[in-house]
Amino acid sequence: MDIFIFLSLDLPFIYKIHVVLGIIQKQSLKFTAVNFVGTFIGFMSVIFIYPREQELYGYFQFLFSAAMLLVPVLGLGMSSAIIKYYPIFVQKNRDRNFLSFTVALTTISAVFLTLVLGMLYYLFQDYIASVLSNFDLVKANLQYILILTYLNLYAGIFLNQAIARYSLVIPDLIYTFSLKIFLPFIIICVYLGWLDSVWFPVYILLYYLIVMLALLVYIMYLDKHSLSPKLLSFNKAEYTALGSFMTFSLFNGLGASLALRLDNVMIGSMLTVNAVYIYGTILTISNVIEIPSKAINNISSAVISSSWTNNDQANIQDIYQKSSVYGWIVGLLLFLLIYFIWIDIIALMPGKIQMELSSILLIFTLLSFARIIDLVTGVNSVILSYSSLYKYHMYFLIILGIVNIVLNYFLIQRLGIAGAALATCISYVIFNLMKYYFLKSRFGFSIHWQPHTAILVAGLIVFVIMHVLTFSFLPVINIVLKSIITSVLFGTLILIFNPGGEIRALADSYIRKFVRK
């Protein structure tokens, strides 16, 4: 069904957007397909390549996570504000100036905040060193972390400029997929002695410089742009509103970074780089489960923003419900697929993980549960972020950040890397429960849980069956057999239960299209 959305901001003319639900489905499908291919490559790298240079992979995870913690702070939330404010620039006939406008404001905020953070670091350096037992790792890599932060900051600006124009797949190939190729290539080159590990951080910086420039070239190809930022395009009231939204976006991005990246940074700062490798390996594999969530959130953001402007709450509720049901199905299936092949994954690794299988499964389950909670609660962050009460999302993220920092600090000391996984899990549960009940009480949006029960029953049945079955073949054969059996069992049960009442119709539609082609 086509949805025609008319956005009006009391300007002399109306900005008309023709949004087709097929765009969401098509882009989501392509995005998910690309990410699954990238994840498969990453999966193979985690098994066969990264174990050969465990310290180096852990070092990369530390550098990248530290940089991504700083990106939303230095950018002051401009990256996320792009999607919301691009239509306004189109209405003002200033869309050609939007790229320059965002780059100019980002540069101003980044330089100013770098100076502020540098001063704070100088004043409290001794105290930070007393808190973090492995602070020397941070101190020795500050220059690399800062440069990497700036490169990812501008790359994020160009990436969201493309998303605002309903283009996601190509930018994702440049920004995310290419790393799946580059990182294992560099690490295997170091392992074989073709490259010196001393220059490893320089290779990483050069890679992200190329990525940033490639995204810039793509956005220049995608649309026409002017070098003039037209900073006077906004009046005082509009700048006030922009500043307010950017502040929210700052905490939004920072909260997400604290949830996704803080654990790697604190493990490296409190334990060892090898501990980062172990945790990062389990985290990378568990990240497979968040692929559907990333696709749905990225593609639905523009539609939900427009639906709020047009007061189309029925459309928002529909997206909310379906994203929850389908996210739960895919997330649970991915968890089941991976859980039972961990023993085979470890058997394939050339360099074994120095940890018991039971501990690995515990950490994986905690991290997976955090991602499944995100899927089950649907696009709640997107809905709240683009509503008139978006500031509450900022408040929830502040709570998330505080809870995550405190839990990570104490639980890592007591439980090691399992403590970091538990901290992440608890933080995600609290965060999503706050958003769920807020959306229900303030806007009346809710998730109907009856379909979820059927999905849970299907998952439990498959879990029991797979737990009972034994496989004594080669690891690769075990993985293939377990994956096929798990998928067939779970898929069959989902078709039988038909949660949401649309699964069979969707399956029938895709089968008919496939047969016709």
Task: Judge whether 63 and 137 are in contact, CB under 8 Å.
Answer: no
What is the pLDDT at residue 84?
76
Asked which of 96-110, 410-424, 467-481 is least confident by mean pLDDT, the reply is 96-110
Burial class (CB in 10 A: 0-12, 13-18, 19+), 348: middle
Classified as helix, coil or strand, 5 is strand
What amino acid is encoded at 327 in this protein? G
Q: What is the DSSP letter of 443?
A: T
Location of structure tokens 């100013």? 112
Alpha helices (H) in 261-352, listed in sequence order? 262-270, 273-286, 291-309, 313-339, 342-348
d(CA 252, CA 205): 26
- State the chain's maximal CA–CA distance in angstroms: 72
Percent of the chain with pLDDT over 90: 43
Q: Give the C-alpha separation, 28 to 9, whole Å.
A: 29
| 8 A C-beta contact, residue 81 and residue 72 | no
In which band, very low, low, confident or very high, does the pLDDT at 397 lie, cut at 50, 70 and 90?
A: confident
pTM over 0.75: yes
pLDDT digits (tens, 9 = 90+) for 183-230: 999 999 999 999 999 999 999 999 999 999 999 999 998 888 777 777
Q: Using alpha carbons, list the distances in angstroms from residue 243 to 9, 142, 248, 327, 486.
A: 18, 29, 9, 33, 49
Average pLDDT, the chain: 85
Alpha-carbon distance of 78 to 102, in angstroms, equals 7
Cα→Cα distances 492→142, 154, 339, 486, 498, Å: 52, 46, 19, 10, 10
Concatenated DSSP letters of 423-435: HHHHHHHHHHHHH
What's the token pair of residue 396?
Answer: 């929830």
Q: Give me the count of residues in the chain.
A: 517
Alpha-carbon distances, residue 1 vs 4, 21, 272, 315 (angstroms) = 10, 6, 53, 12
- The predicted model gives 408-416 an average pLDDT of 92
- pLDDT over 90 (residue 300): no
Distances in Å between the alpha carbon of 33 and those of 160, 171, 394, 474? 20, 14, 32, 28
**Per-residue pLDDT tens over the stretch 118-153:** 999 989 888 888 888 888 888 899 999 999 999 999
The answer to whether 204 touches 148, Cβ cutoff 8 Å, is yes
Exposed, middle or buried: residue 236 (CB in 10 Å: 0-12, 13-18, 19+)? exposed
Q: Tell me which amino acid residue 405 is.
A: I
Give yes or no for a contact between 74 and 109, defined as CB atoms under 8 angstroms apart.
yes
Return the pLDDT at 194.
94
pLDDT at 9: 34
Q: Which two tokens stand for residue 169?
A: 């797949």
Instruction: Tell whether the model's pLDDT for residue 31 goes beyond 70.
Output: no
Taking a C-beta distance cutoff of 8 angstroms, is the pair 495, 503 a contact?
Answer: yes
Report d(CA 417, CA 355) in Å as an integer.
11
Least confident of 358-372, 425-439, 490-504: 490-504
pLDDT for position 77: 79
Q: Among 106-115, 318-327, 349-358, 362-371, which is the least confidently predicted range?
A: 349-358
Containing 217, the helix (H) or strand (E) segment is helix 200-222
Extents of the domains making up the chain: 23-448
d(CA 360, CA 337): 15
Give the pLDDT mean for 88-96.
75
pLDDT of residue 23: 54
| pLDDT-derived band at 17, boundaries 50, 70, 90 | very low
Question: What pLDDT score was predicted for residue 81?
Answer: 81
What is the H or E stretch that residue 43 is in? helix 21-48
